[in-house]
Structure 1
Amino acid sequence: MPWLNNNVVNKDAPAGDLIQKNLFTGIGTVNIPLYSYSNYNISTGVSLEYATDGIKVDRISSTVGIGWELFTGGEITRQVVGVEDEININHWCGTVFYVPYWERRGYWVNSKDTAKTDNAPDIFSLKLSDRKINFQFSKTGELFTIPKSSVKIERYVNGSLLSGQLDSTTDYTGDLTFKVTDESGNQYFFKKGDVANDTNSVDLSFASLPSCQQIFFPADKWVLDKIITYDGLQIGYFYDQISYTEVQHKSQVLREVNNDWSNVEEKIIKNSYTAQRLTRIEYPNNINVQFSYDVNSRCDLKNSFRLKEVLVTERTLTYGLVPQTQKYVFNQAYFVSPDSSMSTLFSSYGEYPISTNCNQFDDKRFRLKLKSIDMIAQSQSRNLFNFEYAGTDIPQRVCGGRDLYGYPSTAVPILQTCNNGTFSLMVPVHHWPDASHYAGMSLAPEIATKFIQAGALKKIITGSGAEYKLGYGLNAVSISGLSGLRLDTLSVYDGYNHDNDLYTTFTYEGPEVFVPEKAINYTYYQEGGEFNQPGHPYYLNNVWSSSSCLVNNSLDGANYGYKKVTECNWNSNGQQLNKTITQFSGSGATTAVNQGTDNNLMAPANVFNDNNFYVGFSLPPYSNKQYLRSWGIGLPIRREYYDYNNQLVKTEDLSYTVTTLPKQDVNFRAIVKLPSKKKNTDEPLEFYRDVYYPTTGLSYLNSILTRNYTTATSYSESNVAYAYDSHNNLQNTILQNSLSQNIKEVKYYNYNWNGNTPNPGTAINKMNQDGIEKLIYTETWKSNIDLSGSGQYSLINLATPAFSVNNNIIRPQYEYRLAVSDPLPSSIYTGNSSLDMNSLALGNTPATNFIKTGENSLFDDKGNVLETKEPRSNLYSASIWDNEAGFKLAAVKNARYNEIAYCGFESNYIPGTDYRKGNWDFNISGLAGQSAMLGRGSFQLGAGGLWTTTNLTIGKRYVVSFWVYQGGSADANDGVTPLNIQPSGVSYNGWNLYEKEFTAQSAGIGVWGSGYIDEVRLYPANSQMINYNFLPLIGKTAVVDPNDRITTYEHDGFGRETLIRDQNRNILNKVVNAEKGND
């Protein structure tokens, strides 16, 4: 998104480039990239993300600010189900007394049971740069991804690969880590991030933890340790450790004694955490991203520290140059909740500046917020973004006023004192469990948009003056259970030309709740008399407990969606520009459903239902276990496009196949305990077992029918049909156009060949052994038959690479294409059997009708192509690379790699022969940054000469050229005899060009002299060389053409191009980057 990086508002650039919108849920995601890295196999980087679904009351700010998350390439989090997977702990600590106690994750136990607590797998969420996957491991260790994926995830416990069941007969905890391998072969290594050191409770006078309660150290988050790309390059992540205490609200408890409901207490958990704090990332292109934190503790999380700056910088430089840097500075403050009773909680809007001493404050009243981002680069500073938030204050953490999902509400608590360390909270209206009610509480049903917007991002102002305004609506409709915010409007204002303003409205219809309120109203009810065992007096009356709800398997965190959304764009004059109406697939039900059918996208309800028990009276983790088949929900099934006159111009109808894997596989079985209260008895709580079968699957796009309207009733029609292979990859695409012509594309992947014969060492074989999935080539066919496929197709296009393995790196080495004058009937072409990938990898010309069109004949140790060959003309081209920074420095036509050389002295050199020296060698002590013709570096000839590492053809004509700074002189030889080169008369900024054609007398030549030398080139006389200069974090700075003409590209410190000049310093192009306030 270059227009965003440059802070230029472009009328053709949609607001979605900054704010990605999920129309189905109404949630937007703001993404601000700070640094991006990519190579042949991977794209990753560092960015800031903000989701617009609202701020929950008990949410703790990240190190950047509330609502904002720093994403650095990958993370794993989990929702604990029962007890953490790596922990083994019995329900019962002793054998004598029935002492009720609160287990670590919040389950009341009033029954002696020696079965393991954790009888169900945790739900993990993996987030990589381009995807998010939920996964579980079965009791036998099988991986279960949701939706189904080819990503490989391996568990390690205490450093050893765990392939089977994680279990033990003793109480213990293991060090759980992960290794993830994607379909491209990139490996992501995750280590423990945030680790809870201990757990305790407060304000529960009627229960205490027994002395045998076990203390464990589980992880709630895993962070990247390193990434190893399929090429073998490594991205390293480095951390330090901090310890802090976090106070969390776990549940609200109402104790009823003799019909007195005034005894209200709350479950407060204080966890001491050890956290991995990211300090730097080292990328393989000599770039570091460094993270700097405030030395003073945060006001909202004691002993934790806010992230102040992100510095992108060159890691090492050979000869003392000042590294290129880009620093992002976060300007922050605090939201402050008023220190008063709940009745005035929302009455004012507070902000507190960053303080050097926060110990005097109650940290639950504060939320760190991000106000703006500035950028400093090469001693220049500019504002990038400013942020404004809703004027309603966020309530104090662990202090009431929340709805079912934890968002702020207007609920009035029974007890409303949140001051002076008193955490007693409200308990909302509850229902006695009988035939017409579920045993549950209706937490804070009185919801208003004003309050739920507390702390929400409302406006983004860029440094160029552009504004993005976000208008929210509330997901509170007639269907109970919707919560959180949705985007109703999104406005983009150009800071300079209001003709470019864009105003977008979103209208939602057909709201649907996936898991209804009664299914996720996590409650607990217990009734009993006096337990008075020696030494353990315990009095128990009616106790109700409830906590904010979590949806076990939601759609990107949302428990709702809309089946029809209208998106309308308007200009600054209020005129409609266009309109799109999108219809989405729903879950097929808005209430609990029976055992799943093909038309239903809800997993089996499995509500424990018996005549002796209350229907739906269940406890987390699963409640009624109504898991979503999320892969089939929220798919666009129809789009209608309208013009500025509101006339229909196009429709798209999309169809899908939603697959679900069998649910009866015992390997994925998990057993959970569902406490239920018997009817009409005073018997204590009892435990019963229920069986849960996780569900996963995939959705496949079958077809898209497109109609383009010329009038209200006239249209042309085309249809695209899709088919998939056993690996769930797209295999066939058939397009039927309005002329009834069919175009079919057939895709082939590495696994379509076994790769074992006749050459088991080929690249196809390695791909298959490594388990990667790579598209090899696509066939294009044409026919006049219908979509049924009857009749004969003719092949009209096919181009395929053949891959080779060099230094364990796979790269395309040969290129082949179909060469026929007329389409080739399928009866003549027999498909992929005609193209033996193993034979092609050896450079053999394939079957009849194909020709070899290209060959990459040489690679460097990073896989960059150094030499190519055009087979028909037998001509070569060669390139010089900085294979660390990833820049191509020179390109030569009609030359072999071993007969060219180029060096501009810009790279990060190491002793000895190095690709970055460009087939020259020299003593790196001669590198100089004091004077440079182009770029930052040159070479001082007084420290020694230069010599080539080439293999020139003796007797062949070559050209050597270089630039020498005024006052210096230089010469070269032909390998034996000095050439006596004189200045050519061409000069540039005090540098003089030396150039001469000669006949090589040896495989290599030398250059020597005095003073500074730069841009040293050698190439055959009948070829042409172009060389390039680059600056890390900036880009291309100069180009020297085959005639030694120089074009320079000037940038400001932020990498934005400002001027293009020719060799005589004449301006060829000028770009003015507007800044707000500096017009």
Structure 2
Amino acid sequence: MKKTKVCSAFKWTIMTVVLCLFNNIQAQGEQPTITSFSINSNIQSPNSASLGTYGAIPVSLYSGTAEVSIPIYQINEGNIPLDINLQHDASGVRVNSVPGWVGQNWSLQAGGLIQRSVKGRSADEFDVTRGNNNYNNLFPHFNYWDDYGNDCNNDYCSTILWPWWNQGYKYNMPILQRSNWSSAQNLYSIYLDSRKTYNPPGWFDGDYEWRNASSNALDLKKYQPDLEPDIFSFNFMGHTGKFFLGQDGQWKVASSSNLKVICDFSSDVVSPVSTPEYNYNSPPYSTPHVFTEKYREFPRVINKITMIDDNGNQFVFGYNEATELTFPDFFNQQYSPIISSAWYLKYVKNKFGSIIYEFEYEKGPYIGHFYLSYNKFSILNTGFYDSTLRYDFKAPGQLILPIYLKKIKTKAGLSIEMNSSISNSMKFKENDNAAFTLGTLNNNIYPSTNYNRQTYINDTFLGPYYFYRKLLDFTTLNPEWNAANDYFSLLKWKKLDNIAIKDANANNLLTADFNYINQPDRRLFLTGLSINTEQKYIFEYDRDNLLPNFLSSAVDHLGYFDGTPFTIPLTETNWSGYYNQRLTNPEAVKYGSLKKITYPTKGFTEFVYEPHSYSKEIDKNGVLINSVSEGIIGGLRIKKIINNDGFGNNYVKEYQYTTGINSNISSGNLLFKPLYYVSNINTASILSVPKTAYIYDINQLIPMVNLFGNTIEYETIIEKESYFNSSTSINNSGYNIYKYSNYSQFPDLAPLNTTVPDYNFKFPRTDKSFERGKLLEKMVYDNLGNLKQKSSFKYESNLDLKANAINIVIVDASYESYGSYNFDSRNERAMGAYQIYYSDKYLTEKTVSMYTAAGEITKLNKYTYKNYPLSLGTIANNGDLFKNTEYEQTVDGGIMKTYKYPFDFSSSIYNNMYNSRIISPVNGKTEFVIGDSNSPTSRTAISEEQTNFTEIVNNIGGVTQVPQAVLFKKGSSSAFQETLKVLNYDNEGNVLEFKSKEGKSVCLIWGYNKTKMIAKIENVSYNDVLPFVSNLQNLSNTGTQSNLIIALNNLRASLLSSMVTTYTYIPLFGVTTITDPRGDIITYTYDSFGRLKFVKDAQGNLLSENQYHYKNQ
């Protein structure tokens, strides 16, 4: 008998057959697997998962961030793992960061989502079409009415509410396909196009320009095309990256995973919500307006996005219930379009069309997000005019209709239920900051003292418009609304209370309860997590009670708490000094940070942080320069992690961010230095009158759009390890030095061309962050400082994989006169051309040198890759990358393995595989080579393996390609030998019958909704087994285990000449019984947490036992 005192997984392996397709590009340098059959039963291993082991906190050294994750559970159905865990952002608490539903800086990972970053002018990639002045062509149920009651469906109207005229990126992509797309000439051509005339009489367009009805002499149609693709970021089921629509109309994917994006602008878009429209029976602003219901339809938004991996699995995001909507302007919603801002994972389907996981969501109450705003723009001109445009101190924001995960259902019948409630924690409030009461509320909502909040919100043109309507139908008034309530009291955030995992019969298998600080004057902080009420995690934070309200101006440059509110300099003489008001406070920046985790074991982890430091910084033009003096900036990096096992033993890791072990110079590069004030810049293009401008903003002038990666990076990091306990002094274990690729090697690129050169600092640069943060070198030293091992890494990228974009912004908002009219010209459009890469940065060479007393031992590995389709071919490559060869150096040569994929063959079945995104290697050849790995002087064949395919009818009536036979040959033999052949599949892709190399027939029966093997029968054909299959499957799906075991025993008794092995399960936990051909039963027993307690043989003898020692157990 064996006793185990640790919470380690108990593994049980049994030989059966299941189809297993590998993920092609896995960890860099990892060897692909030829598509074939693996001897892996898909029987769940008995789960004694280490819920509560201490320590093992990884660190992203390049950014200095501790990666804290708390596992809750993992499910694996259809060879598609689903991890449910908590992840913590350990970079510090930003003052204006509202906690999510699991607390400040925590997030629940359970499925995934796609988020959109809007670029360019339009609200979506495909704005509506204008259509011959007939707006009903655009919005079939919508009548336009101006504020004087005029019907805007005719050609005259004083106000148009929706002035979108084919501005969307979708309609303007061809402009970026011109050969001279980035030339100054082309940019000026676009500039002139944006000033084309349009001649409706008396027109007031969306840019607030008066059209002279009598002369039309100054009749500029302010058409501004969107020439930037929105960026969609994704994080789901182990896949991360971004995608966007290229100028060729194809979705481009930047990810270490091979993924295809499907989003059809005809079928995958919807009108987001339907809302009432207003009509008025009296002139405006004299009496409260009379409200009549007129149905209005909004411009369409993206409602569904599908991503397909290289195993043919589909991940479907969105649909109405799983698409988050955002109203970009909280205080001016009537003019503000609705956009779809996030899409949550709705379905995971395997290549056979079966739904493996289904996610159910619910729409929560409205939430909002606000920020402080103040800027000033002064223009001086010697020949024409001087003007100043100032925006008052305000707190604009967004209205968001959030999505919350409600339930996950699995193919095997499990359900994971998420139960949530309204949080009572801190909210935005009117008295958070003077920006609300003195700026936003007075100017945007209360135009005069004659209007109270209730009355004026009924005005079409100002104020929260949808906010006070019932959540679902958008037509009925919200019963919560009354004149006494302020807007912010109706914003409600939710918190996750518990997760309950149940089997197909609704029996509770596991419950996770969440505990919080949940009170009106505090942020929502997660303080505890309990698994089945007994396994408890405890979370402690650093001075979280001292954090201010959300809209506090006591923030440093990056929004972290600095303890001292800034003041707004109102004159130009004080603008340049504003920077020093936002310096980082090294103590206040730690407030709210996670300082300790206590685990269900007696162990705990303590975190020690410090602010980021840097010795180099990026100037406003994107050039890395030496800082005048070493600086610190907001956000936290990890300084020390102390792991205590609960018995007094401490394992410590310390991190030093300097250029060397004995250096005190920071290795940090500040990649985003805020800029608040610029002076004496010419904002005019070559076609307009020179204008000298002074610009000031309390927020950064350089947009964060210029930063796709980190705000700070570290070129060199030193990791020190030590150990101590109460009876010993510190025992140093040595240290490691890491070096990473960085901005000095791969800087972002300046705009290719601009129309206003002085404005270059405002334009996006061509981002190269995908080439940074790669480990270049790791050196391992012992405690005496002797070098013991050195690992070096080389990478390449495909710089042909890029798309074009042009950023267009208004840079001149001055007032001009024409005749008797004064109007806001907004004539100047500044344009900057840049590119967007979507290449991987892939490992091509790894060298490991070991230093011993006998000398140096070196191991060399090399890798080559191929894009398909070719980067510059006639078919666009949208980001796929495949490993071509692997080489490992030996004493007298090297071993080379070459892979072939379905696209390397011309037969129809391989074409169908590629079109179905089943793109794993189907052939692998191993050779001994002499000479350079790229062009060997000789090759000797060692072996070759290949998988042949056939097609079966799948679960939804289509066809799927599956392995039919595995072939192998050794040396230079010309003939393949068949090692395995499948005779029969079901429509879920489960192998029903196969023959081994020896010709022995093996049949398999799949139960629990065809997700787990319940019987393996040798020396029999599937036709002999078929009469038993339906009953066994029904019993495994809905019956009791005892009845299933009786039926399995009957199967064994009916096939006495065959060898029958049977299995039963608790779906979430694992296998419960294995009965061998002799009828002997091995039994697996679990505790209430799903942990394996013991294993007994047929005679009841204890074979193994696991003991778990947790606090309070």
TM-score by length of 1: 0.70
State the partner residue of 1:592: none
Q: Deviations over 1:884-918 (max 9, x none)?
A: 26222222333333334898xxxxxxxx9366159
After superposition, where does 1:810-889 map in structure 2 within 5 Å? 810-819=961-970, 823-824=971-972, 848-871=974-997, 873-882=998-1007, 884=1009, 886-889=1011-1014
Alpha-carbon distance between aligned partners in 2 of 1:431 and 1:654, rounded to the nearest angstrom: 51
Q: Give the SS at the match of 1:121.
A: coil
Change (3 A) 1:256 1:753: closer
Equivalent position to 1:714, from 851, 855, 861: 855
Equivalent position to 1:442, from 579, 582, 596: 579
Change (3 A) 1:112 1:431: farther
Change (3 A) 1:1059 1:94: farther
Alpha-carbon distance between aligned partners in 2 of 1:148 and 1:296, rounded to the nearest angstrom: 38
Change (3 A) 1:366 1:1027: same
State the partner residue of 2:549: 396
State the partner residue of 1:491: 642
Equivalent position to 2:942, from 777, 796, 799: 796
Identity score, percent:
18
State the partner residue of 1:704: 846
Q: Deviations over 1:440-493 (max 9, x none)?
A: 952744212321122121211111122122221211334457531111222221
After superposition, where does 1:740-751 map in structure 2 within 5 Å? 740-751=892-903
* Higher RCO (CA < 8 A, seq sep 6+): 2
Q: Deviations over 1:685-729 (max 9, x none)?
A: 752331323221332322112211113x92022221211123321
Point out the more displaced range, 51-60 or 145-154: 145-154
Change (3 A) 1:894 1:467: same
Alpha-carbon distance between aligned partners in 2 of 1:483 and 1:870, rounded to the nearest angstrom: 62
**Deviation of 1:583 (Å):** 0.9
State the partner residue of 1:893: 1018
Equivalent pair of 1:523/1:547 in contact (CA under 8 Å): no
Q: Give the SS at the match of 1:452.
A: helix
State the partner residue of 2:314: 187
Equivalent position to 2:742, from 586, 610, 614: 586
Alpha-carbon distance between aligned partners in 2 of 1:506 and 1:94, rounded to the nearest angstrom: 69
- Determine whether 1:658 maps to 2:797: yes
**Deviation of 1:584 (Å):** 0.8
Alpha-carbon distance between aligned partners in 2 of 1:221 and 1:882, rounded to the nearest angstrom: 37
Change (3 A) 1:173 1:297: farther
Gap regions ≥5 residues in structure 2: 1-5, 10-46, 129-161, 166-199, 210-217, 271-295, 380-387, 429-490, 619-632, 660-665, 684-692, 815-823, 869-880, 955-959
- Determine whether 1:154 maps to 2:304: no
Counterpart code for 1:894: N
Change (3 A) 1:585 1:690: same
Alpha-carbon distance between aligned partners in 1 of 2:529 and 2:680, rounded to the nearest angstrom: 49
State the partner residue of 1:239: 361
Q: Give the SS at the match of 2:811.
A: coil
- Determine whether 1:673 maps to 2:809: yes
Q: Give the SS at the match of 1:669.
A: strand
Alpha-carbon distance between aligned partners in 1 of 2:1006 and 2:918, rounded to the nearest angstrom: 28
Equivalent position to 2:516, from 328, 332, 351: 332
Equivalent pair of 2:163/2:206 in contact (CA under 8 Å): no
Change (3 A) 1:516 1:500: closer
**Deviation of 1:674 (Å):** 4.8
Alpha-carbon distance between aligned partners in 2 of 1:653 and 1:273, rounded to the nearest angstrom: 47
State the partner residue of 1:417: none
Alpha-carbon distance between aligned partners in 2 of 1:7 and 1:190, rounded to the nearest angstrom: 30
Alpha-carbon distance between aligned partners in 2 of 1:249 and 1:626, rounded to the nearest angstrom: 25
**Deviation of 1:662 (Å):** 6.7
- Determine whether 1:916 maps to 2:1033: yes
After superposition, where does 1:99-498 map in structure 2 within 5 Å? 114-116=222-224, 118-138=226-246, 141-146=249-254, 150-157=258-265, 159-160=267-268, 173-177=299-303, 178-191=305-318, 193-197=323-327, 199-201=329-331, 214-234=335-355, 235-253=357-375, 265-294=392-421, 299-300=426-427, 302-314=491-503, 316-317=504-505, 323-334=507-518, 352=519, 361=520, 366-376=522-532, 381-392=533-544, 393-414=546-567, 426=568, 442=579, 444-479=581-616, 482-496=633-647, 498=648
State the partner residue of 1:957: none
Q: Give the SS at the match of 2:911.
A: helix
Q: Deviations over 1:1041-1068 (max 9, x none)?
A: 2222222111101111112222333322
Equivalent pair of 1:890/1:1026 in contact (CA under 8 Å): yes
Equivalent pair of 1:1060/1:1067 in contact (CA under 8 Å): yes
Equivalent pair of 1:199/1:270 in contact (CA under 8 Å): yes
Change (3 A) 1:562 1:1026: same
Q: Deviations over 1:787-840 (max 9, x none)?
A: 353322112122332233222343322111114xxx43xxxx7xxxxxxxxxxx
State the partner residue of 2:146: none
Alpha-carbon distance between aligned partners in 1 of 2:536 and 2:94, rounded to the nearest angstrom: 28
Gap regions ≥5 residues in structure 1: 103-109, 163-169, 202-208, 335-351, 353-360, 415-425, 529-540, 589-598, 757-761, 830-847, 904-911, 930-935, 940-961, 964-1006, 1008-1012
**Deviation of 1:6 (Å):** 5.5
Alpha-carbon distance between aligned partners in 2 of 1:56 and 1:883, rounded to the nearest angstrom: 47
Change (3 A) 1:476 1:91: farther
Counterpart code for 1:892: I
Equivalent pair of 1:469/1:492 in contact (CA under 8 Å): yes
**Deviation of 1:91 (Å):** 9.1
- Determine whether 1:724 maps to 2:865: yes
Number of aligned positions between the proteins? 833
State the partner residue of 1:648: 787
Q: Deviations over 1:988-1010 (max 9, x none)?
A: xxxxxxxxxxxxxxxxxxx9xxx
Equivalent pair of 1:227/1:236 in contact (CA under 8 Å): yes
Q: Give the SS at the match of 2:705.
A: coil
Change (3 A) 1:514 1:748: farther
Q: Give the SS at the match of 2:584.
A: coil
Alpha-carbon distance between aligned partners in 2 of 1:1066 and 1:269, rounded to the nearest angstrom: 70
State the partner residue of 1:1077: 1112
Change (3 A) 1:411 1:39: same
**Deviation of 1:40 (Å):** 4.7
Equivalent pair of 1:91/1:116 in contact (CA under 8 Å): no
Equivalent position to 2:888, from 731, 735, 741: 735
State the partner residue of 1:534: none
Equivalent pair of 2:368/2:400 in contact (CA under 8 Å): yes
Kindly indicate which of the two structures has a greater share of residues assigned to helix. Answer: 2
Kindly indicate which of the two structures has a greater share of residues assigned to strand. Answer: 1
Point out the more displaced range, 576-585 or 632-641: 576-585
**Deviation of 1:852 (Å):** 0.7
**Deviation of 1:851 (Å):** 0.8
Superposition CA RMSD, Å: 4.2
Change (3 A) 1:677 1:157: closer
Alpha-carbon distance between aligned partners in 1 of 2:612 and 2:753, rounded to the nearest angstrom: 27
Alpha-carbon distance between aligned partners in 2 of 1:2 and 1:142, rounded to the nearest angstrom: 48
**Deviation of 1:299 (Å):** 4.6
After superposition, where does 1:20-31 map in structure 2 within 5 Å? 20-31=58-69
**Deviation of 1:292 (Å):** 0.7
**Deviation of 1:410 (Å):** 3.6
Counterpart code for 2:792: D
Equivalent pair of 2:422/2:493 in contact (CA under 8 Å): no
Alpha-carbon distance between aligned partners in 1 of 2:1063 and 2:525, rounded to the nearest angstrom: 44
Q: Give the SS at the match of 1:574.
A: strand
- Determine whether 1:938 maps to 2:1043: yes
Change (3 A) 1:452 1:113: farther
Alpha-carbon distance between aligned partners in 1 of 2:201 and 2:105, rounded to the nearest angstrom: 44
Alpha-carbon distance between aligned partners in 2 of 1:484 and 1:892, rounded to the nearest angstrom: 60
Q: Give the SS at the match of 1:938.
A: helix
